[in-house]
Chain A
Amino acid sequence: MKQIALYGKGGIGKSTTAANLSAALAGEGLDILQIGCDPKHDSTRMLMHGTWIPTVLDLIRERGEEEITVDDVVYQGFRGVRCVEAGGPEPGIGCAGRGIIATFQLLERLNALKGDVIVYDVLGDVVCGGFAMPMREGYAQEIYLVTSGELMSIYAANNIAKAIARLSRRARSRCTLGGVICNAKNIRGERDLVAEFARRINSRLIAYIPRSHEVQVAELHRQTVVEYAPESDQAAVYLELGRAIYGNRETGIPTPLEMDEIETFALEFIQV
């Protein structure tokens, strides 16, 4: 079983990438579980054709942990991808990080964490210990950073690399960086910039996903591109991403950059 997690700046396209990745991998005949780890709970929506599935934390709140079965939290989406949404408290109250921890404990107890690949789709940044949960022992061993060529997005990716580096120092840690995914915003020289960033943090660009109108159209139809336009170039990109990740054997511990290093290196690229 391969367990991977996607992290990156909010709004960068993690959920779109994760859903299309899951759809692509399922097309290869693999058993996929995708877990959305964000109180916004919209990670699996396209796989579920627009349906908002009940979140684990809503169920815990309404029924209590004891009354919950696997069928209450795991929903079959496109191509049989099993979908889970952690959910969270109402905005502005409680502790979402603790909610992620509680969700993982429940999924473990229900023996729900199984399949050929588990894809954890985590919110914007590793804001507290709770959101580092997918990186902890026994969960995702490969982290993929999703970023565009925008400086703020790279800065966020670098921050997450710091969390990976920190966690990897712990005894028994098996958390590594699998690679960097460039989800393009159509910035000039973007691919080279992100590839160079990946190299400098001791990783590599594992996929370049061009900006595509088809993604938007597919999402308006409440589907992944892989389902809506399976013959499209964009679908092919996700298929390639799936193969690259599933076959990835080169993972490592990142060496995050200092803030001024990021700025200097971004300047180099803008001058080119």
Chain B
Amino acid sequence: MKLKPSLSSSSRFEGCTLTGALSVLTEVQDAVCIIHGPAGCAHHNFSLIHATLLSNDRFKIPRLLSTRLTENDIIFGGEEALEATISRALSLSPAPASIFVLSTCIVETIGDDTEAVCAKNRGIPVIAVPTAGFLGGVFDTGIRNALHSVASLARPGVVDPTPSANLIGEKNLEYGVDENAAEIARLLGRLGIGINLRFVRGIGTRDLERLGSAAANILREPALRPVGEDLRRRFGTPYVDSFPVGLSGTLRFLDETGRICGIDASDAIEEERAYQAAMLEEFCDMAGSRIRFQTVHPMLGTDPEAEIVCTECARTLDLMIAPDGISVSFPHPAPVGTAGLRRMLHQWRLLIRGRAPEI
């Protein structure tokens, strides 16, 4: 029996399993996602994803279909409606290269066998993704389930002679996804490692065949370890369990990535250390300012990583943490790499300059 998620898990960032899965699956650009449930389950997800795409200047429409179940389908079973919707998806133009079928609370309640319907041979992969939220899953579970499902489309790969890495589980609904990816690419560049596949962002079904040919997988955050383990089992690819966070964290990231790829990272680390020092130099005018940290919103709590990073930066820049200091919100999530810190420090300076008393 699955229990209710805790109150904090029902907040903005951890809600519906279906939404989490769609944030991944709608990034397979030539796929169609079918939401097997009432029309409303598709509607609010479509709206959210579409709005997020627009606010990131990505002008595309998520390819979602709903089986639009009504009372009769609930009484008699929704499998026929699913069958019909899969046929509809197959007849779309341009034709999908793959189809993901996402279950909802009601179809799991009445016991529709989504997997059995998907198993029929239709010429392209039709993958069932379990996403009924009442079974205890949250947004993050949806992301993980979706990544597992998409990984099933990959083939056992041959590792490229030129070392490259996959980005695993980028948070597609957050701002700065591409800036974060660019930062990872910059850091990996210091080690001579390229990006093999963004798993999953802006890719096609055929691209997934490359999933197994990277030397390392870089997970977006430690919560994705089960996905990292799954990929290690399937393809033997080792993983780094998080994007880099903090000054020293970023150096450790280079060290760890170099180690698992068999590359000596000591030059890269020294170069990055110098780069960080130059970046910090830009903010030396803030030295001596009094600040205090607060959570961005009581409903969100604090990312513990963010707290460590903020304290580290404050210390390095000789800021004073005091109860009467200028209020600075913890970033949520924690900033990625040296570039992320730079953006954060810019905000700090705006706050300090805007609110600092006139001398």
Query: Which residue on chain A has the smallest CB distance to residue B71?
Result: A102
A94 at the B interface (CB under 8 A): yes
B274 at the A interface (CB under 8 A): no
Inter-chain contact A60/B72, CB cutoff 8 Å: yes
Which of B14-22, B73-81, B97-105, B143-151 contacts the other chain? B73-81
Chain A nearest CB from B112 CB (Å) reads: 8
Complex interface: chain B residues within 8 A of A90 (CB): 76-77
Complex interface: chain A residues within 8 A of B71 (CB): 98, 102
Query: Which residue on chain A has the smallest CB distance to residue B73?
Result: A94
Inter-chain contact A61/B110, CB cutoff 8 Å: no
Partner of B110, one of A57, A64, A94, A102: A94
Query: What is the bound-complex CA distance between A102 and B73, given in angstroms?
Result: 12
Complex interface: chain A residues within 8 A of B109 (CB): 95
Q: How large is the interface on B (under 10, 10 to 19, 20 to 34, 35 or more residues)?
A: 10 to 19
Query: What is the bound-complex CA distance between A90 and B79, given in angstroms?
Result: 12
Chain A nearest CB from B177 CB (Å) reads: 40
Most buried by A among B72, B74, B79, B109: B72
Inter-chain contact B77/A57, CB cutoff 8 Å: no
Query: What is the bound-complex CA distance between A30 and B87, given in angstroms?
Result: 54
Complex interface: chain A residues within 8 A of B73 (CB): 94
Q: How large is the interface on A (under 10, 10 to 19, 20 to 34, 35 or more residues)?
A: 10 to 19
Complex interface: chain A residues within 8 A of B79 (CB): 93
Query: What is the bound-complex CA distance between A60 and B79, given in angstroms?
Result: 17
Query: Which residue on chain A has the smallest CB distance to residue B113?
Result: A93
Complex interface: chain B residues within 8 A of A96 (CB): 75
A89 at the B interface (CB under 8 A): yes
Inter-chain contact B74/A93, CB cutoff 8 Å: no
Chain B nearest CB from A100 CB (Å) reads: 9
Convert A75-119 into 0s and 1s, putting 1 for each residue whose CB lies closer than 8 angstroms to a CB of B. Answer: 000000000000011100111101100100000000000000000
- Given the known interface contacts A89-B77, A93-B77, A93-B79, the answer about A61 and B111 at a Cβ–Cβ threshold of 8 Å is no
Complex interface: chain B residues within 8 A of A57 (CB): 75-76
- Given the known interface contacts A93-B111, A94-B110, A95-B110, the answer about A102 and B75 at a Cβ–Cβ threshold of 8 Å is yes
Beta-carbon contacts under 8 Å, B53-109 to A: 71-79, 109
Chain A nearest CB from B108 CB (Å) reads: 12
Query: What is the bound-complex CA distance between A64 and B73, given in angstroms?
Result: 12
Inter-chain contact B72/A61, CB cutoff 8 Å: yes
Convert A206-244 into 0s and 1s, putting 1 for each residue whose CB lies closer than 8 angstroms to a CB of B. Answer: 000000000000000000000000000000000000000
Convert A49-88 into 0s and 1s, putting 1 for each residue whose CB lies closer than 8 angstroms to a CB of B. Answer: 0000000010011001000000000000000000000001
Query: What is the bound-complex CA distance between A14 and B77, given in angstroms?
Result: 28
Complex interface: chain A residues within 8 A of B111 (CB): 93
Query: What is the bound-complex CA distance between A197 and B291, given in angstroms?
Result: 75
Chain B nearest CB from A54 CB (Å) reads: 15
Query: What is the bound-complex CA distance between A99 and B75, given in angstroms?
Result: 5
Chain A nearest CB from B232 CB (Å) reads: 39
Query: Which residue on chain B has the smallest CB distance to residue A58?
Result: B76
Query: What is the bound-complex CA distance between A61 and B74, given in angstroms?
Result: 11
Complex interface: chain B residues within 8 A of A102 (CB): 71-72, 75
Chain B nearest CB from A35 CB (Å) reads: 17
Complex interface: chain B residues within 8 A of A95 (CB): 74-75, 77, 109-110
Query: What is the bound-complex CA distance between A93 and B75, given in angstroms?
Result: 8
Query: What is the bound-complex CA distance between A92 and B351, given in angstroms?
Result: 63
Query: Which residue on chain B has the smallest CB distance to residue A61?
Result: B76
Query: What is the bound-complex CA distance between A216 and B110, given in angstroms?
Result: 37
With A57-B76, A64-B72, A102-B75 already in contact, 7 other A-B pairs whose C-beta atoms are closer than 8 Å: A60-B72, A89-B77, A90-B76, A93-B79, A93-B111, A94-B77, A95-B109
Q: List 16 A-B contacts (CB under 8 A).
A: A57-B75, A60-B75, A89-B75, A89-B76, A90-B77, A93-B76, A93-B77, A93-B112, A94-B73, A94-B78, A95-B77, A98-B71, A98-B74, A98-B110, A99-B75, A102-B75
